[in-house]
Amino acid sequence: MSVRHGGIFLFDTLPAQIGAVFTVAVCLFAFLKGDEPERIGAGAYLLGWFASLLVQTDGDLYAVQWAMFALDTVMLVILGALAWRSRRSWPIWACALQLLAVTSHIMAMIDLRPPIASFYTVLNIASYGILLALAIGTFWAWQERRAAGLE
């Protein structure tokens, strides 16, 4: 989950606002209709997303953002634990996408100098992919409960 999706400058653009609505909608869906893994994933995503709004430095786009790297690494660990402990498949996809985000940070750290637009594009696409995996996982958890007559 690179927590920085939907625009890196808070909510000052329409894409950032749309991304925020999408994030909140998917996480709300996970909280209302998901099982424990979906709720943990949504909670971790929202906490990381809000934390990223506090720690990101917008002034120097080309510098390594160590706090963002730390947040993305923590999210990778959380998603890895969910993938390890859960019988669901969505955490595996989300973990793979989060690993892509962390690897992008590492590329910047070792000074491979990818174009900054490519760096942010990878982070944004990975974030939307994680939200999509969470939404699909929540939908299937909800449908399994309905089929079992639990809802």
Q: Is the pLDDT of residue 8 over 60?
A: no
CB 137 within 8 A of CB 90: yes
Percent above pLDDT 90 for the chain: 60
Q: What is the mean pLDDT of residues 131-140?
A: 96
pLDDT of amino acid 10: 61
Query: The whole model's pTM is what?
Result: 0.86
Distances (CA, A) of 70 to 65, 91, 110: 9, 20, 16
- φ and ψ of 35, to 5 deg: -90, -170
Alpha-carbon gap, residue 40 to 136, rounded angstroms: 15
